[in-house]
Structure 1
């Protein structure tokens, strides 16, 4: 599920911002649903057509194939080319992300009002870059591709919800090698596609905004042996298409002349071209954008300002109008292995002991984020700030922790990734635990091996920092993945190994509720999990700081997507 996303996103190492005053951060408020919205998208005030927008990033994309893509930066670029049944649209008046129909006429019809049957009707006038018509059968075929084990890099929500099992590919393994072109649980009639789920999932409309529902025409599919071709040129249904892609060097997008803005309530095509230049590291990107010369005046950094440049950027008032700032959907936690640290008093003592302010300072200070006290991020619908284990200035309460330990001095094994940031962060963490009476043994693990090691149910560590981001802004993609007992397996995401049947039942019950009333129940569960079980220590709500050139407008930071987005961008 979203662990794939976490490993790649958390490794990106983007600098983040808490105190900047730039006005281009729009992702900090949770979203709502707007059932029906027609195209074209409202014009961006002052926007002009023309020019080339340049996106600077260090690493190449792993995938652009929509069914395999599950990384923030790739998603931001894919949105310019690839459309899905639904999409989260930024509302500039409120700063909220609103769920709307994209390929579909609306955000979905809950046919029987039970969250199990979802119907979508495609808009008229949808075409690919070759002029051919987009059909509901193409959407079904795209979903079918996502069942293919060899293409399982993307999200798995819809596949699991259709089959009712995490082993969704046990019997149906995609449309290749004789498999049906329409997956189990999906029916197509004309322009309408219907999903028949095994259990209620009121959040289905959000899952339909992921690349799983991007249309792929079966008639032009080159087959499994050549599936990588969609990573270099996915079938374009949005305002842009791939003109040229030199892996590791540059991706060039040009307008898709068959995209009809009257069918699209979200996107614009203001720039003539969008060029992604690959290779410059974050420091080089930042220095070029500070200098603001030549073509870099029309560029934006997607990797963010590195820690060593943050202070200078924040001190330079001339850059404030060019800051792209806002929350990520990620929270960093210190996970507690509840199998090894079984006593609730000891886990509560860890929560009281930890110096969160020291941790934040060690990883870059307020430029990295904001001290966290909840499991849910501020980007999630229903977020309600509380602190179950408060301490003065978030610096830890060692006396309270020692009281809970009752004179005992437990030994804790603390594992962390062997990176410069984590080596710095471990020092205040260990110091605060020792002040509270714990004995601590630290283990540095190779960064690439860290998540696989701590995701093992038999791992031999007591504490380890992890980051988790919601796939869409509700508690459904935060609390169940982290604390459902069924998630305890190798490469699972229940890193605390908490397994409480009553809690699992509550998580599943709230997941079946309608999105709006569920928001308050997720907030209640957030409190209950921390107060009753203390399975982790929330450390930081992560934020982003990037820069844009002086001629770039309309780029904004999305707390839902976890990346700057470009569909409102223009140059002038």
Structure 2
């Protein structure tokens, strides 16, 4: 499994959805952390949830242009290759998939519903191996032609191509039963079949025959892999990276790379088929180039078109204090949980003593680390492996300390007079250096001797992914591809999946009991698995202490005074915003 990749230097996932504004103002570190789940939801089992149109948002009006401002360009707009948060956010304006998350304004929690499909899928044999979807009637592309089940199958087929490999890989691997799915099928190009292995089509119905049970398939069906495309529109696949063929409420009008993207209404989108999206604004204009400092200063000033704008990147760290002190900005702050958790990983293949790893957990000054990173606006102190945005999340703390500042006495007791020498690798950036120093200072209080080793930022994760890397400790973050423990626990703790290089695991935990439990939970229905992933989360931390959860990442950004209906969450989407005058 792959973790969804981070957006830009700040690593921010922006979520703008139509609901009552839910901004919060933070002025200090919350040592206790979150009390309840942030925005986790469930998979709908009622087909009525998947029927359009989406419920109207109280007070919303139509018209106007919503501007968004971001520093870097989109990596790709080809739906099958979209796998970066800001691309996902804008992609959901012009791209529809079999399933989709819908925010419930009453609970502020996400519910997976059918988007192109009439429901979230039928588990044909009740074993998670065969999933059937029926497309709604009245679905059309931007040219008015009908969307078919065969087009969905072709979209999946093209995702197998080695030249279209930047998107998610879940469905391709599940259909072939192998990580090197290209060896079985290389896509529909150069004479390849239009249907990928394991996929059958009959009329409006598409069926996926998987090699093993995958109860989370409805979640994976919400990703760009299932975006439909007629084969006739794929004559030049590279063209889709700049001008995708729209199935959503908006379509690309113009796109000047490194400068501007303009989306306008797609007149053939039928809201009666869409239970999620609205098309309140006339146009979306994305401005590319301004730095986070420029974005923040412009949104603070709130002049001209910036009154109709949204900041995509987070408030610049050096301006967080000024923003929080300005009471006039309180109503224009967008703050909430992302689906990332920051960890201090312990390489268990090198630090083999569990008592020593528990001592690291007790000694770490999480509150001080978070304060150095920017304080409460960027996160809440963590105690769990999974994020509060995960379905089934519940709070526990295997290593509680007063105010999150550590318990040096307990750490020293566990070390029993020893002074272990540990090598801490860090990304050689100002932030990396600052964080490493804080870790060093925290652990030194208990007697640890921490040796700091800078690593080139561009190669940092690659080096950590080597099983024989020469480091004991290192900081990294993890985000789920959908709000399930299945995209958090297995990729990080399944020892049977460890390889020489390219590992997602940073702790290299290799415990048969954990592996067996992971493989058992992976076969369970999603509703049952949610609680079991959380119980395994606690067991891993309690029994093995392979990492220190540092903080649950949050976003703080600004929007203009004319923009309404925004809340922050872990899954990016911003198709329900509306403007006032």
Tell me if both proteins adopt one fold, taking TM over 0.5 as the criterion: yes
Give the corresponding residue for 1:197: 210
Question: 5, 12, 26: which is aligned to 2:10?
Answer: 12
- In the alignment, the residues of structure 1 paired with residue 238 and residue 141 of structure 2 have an alpha-carbon distance, to the nearest angstrom, of 19
Give the Cα separation in 1 of the matches to 2:546 and 2:476: 13
Contact 1:14/1:305 (8 A) holds in 2: no
Residue 318 of structure 1 and its aligned partner are, at CA, apart by 2.0
Partner SS, residue 118 of structure 1 = strand
Q: Could you say which residue in structure 2 is the equivalent of 1:2?
A: 2
1:549 to 541, 551, 560: 560
- 2:412 is matched with which residue? 402
SS at match of 1:492: coil
Pairwise mapping of residues 142-181 of structure 1 onto structure 2 (< 5 A)? 142-181=155-194
Alignment correspondent of 1:87: 100
Distance 2:217 2:331 in 1: 37
Q: Structure 2 matches for 1:210-249, cutoff 5 A?
A: 210-222=223-235, 226-249=236-259
Q: Is the 8 A contact 1:22 1:322 kept in 2?
A: no
Specify which of 336, 340, 349 is matched with residue 346 of structure 2.
336
Query: Using the alignment, how far apart are the partners of 1:173 and 1:11 within structure 2?
Result: 33
CA contact (8 A) 1:27 1:97 kept: no
Deviations 1:484-537 (A, max 9, x none): 114323222111111122211111211111111212111110110011111111
Could you tell me how far apart the structure 1 residues matched to 2:368 and 2:179 are? Answer: 39
Q: 2:8 & 2:369 partners in 1: Cα distance?
A: 16
TM-aligned CA deviation for residue 10 of structure 1: 7.6
TM-score by length of 1: 0.95
1:453 maps onto 2:466 in alignment: no
- Pick from 70, 82, 99: which aligns with 2:112? 99
Instruction: Give the corresponding residue for 2:314.
Output: 304
Aligned to 2:27: none
Q: Which residue of the partner structure matches residue 547 of structure 2?
A: 536
Q: 2:400 aligns with which of 383, 390, 394?
A: 390
Equivalent of residue 507 in structure 1, options 518, 523, 529: 518
Q: Distance in 2 between matches of 1:412 and 1:557?
A: 38
1:132 CA displacement: 1.2
Contact 1:27-1:326 within 8 A present in 2 as well: no
RMSD over aligned CA atoms reads 1.7
Counterpart for residue 472 of structure 1: 482
Q: Given the superposition, is the C-alpha separation of residues 311 and 89 from structure 1 closer, same or farther in structure 2, using an over 3 Å criterion?
A: same
Which residue does the alignment assign to 1:60?
Answer: 73
What is the match of residue 432 of structure 1?
442
Distance change >3 Å, CA 24–CA 267, structure 1 → 2: farther
Contact kept, 8 Å, 2:401 with 2:407, in 1: the verdict is: yes
Q: Distance in 1 between matches of 2:10 and 2:484?
A: 23
Is the contact made by 1:270 and 1:570 (CA closer than 8 Å) also made in structure 2? yes
Partners in 1 of 2:168 and 2:440 — Cα distance? Answer: 36
Structure 2 Cα separation of the partners of residues 363 and 445 of structure 1: 19
User: What displacement does 1:152 show?
Assistant: 1.1
Q: CA deviation at 1:387?
A: 0.9
Q: What SS does structure 1 have at the residue aligned with 2:393?
A: coil
1:457 and 1:55 map into 2 onto residues whose CA distance is 41
Residue of structure 1 equivalent to 2:529:
518
1:277 aligns with 2:287: yes
C-alpha distance in structure 2 between counterparts of 1:146 and 1:56, whole Å: 30
Instruction: Give structure 1 stretches of 5+ with no counterpart.
Output: none
Distance 2:37 2:560 in 1: 21
On the 8 A contact 2:39/2:569 being kept in 1, the answer is: no
CA distance in 2 between partners of 1:503 and 1:167 (Å): 25
Quote the Cα distance in structure 2 between the aligned partners of 1:10 and 1:414.
Answer: 25
Give the conservation status (yes or no) of the 8 Å contact 2:260–2:285: yes
CA-to-aligned-CA distance 1:150-171 (integer Å, 9 cap, x gap): 2111111111111222222222
Structure 1 partner of 2:387 = 377
Gaps of 5+ in 2: 15-19, 25-35
Partner of 1:23: 22
Other-structure match for 1:250: 260
- How far apart, CA to CA, are the structure 2 residues paired with 1:461 and 1:369? 26
TM-score by length of 2: 0.94
| Alignment partners' CA distance in 2, 1:433 and 1:545 | 30
Pair 1:313-2:311 in alignment: no
CA distance in 1, matches of 2:419, 2:21: 47
- Does 1:418 pair with 2:453? no
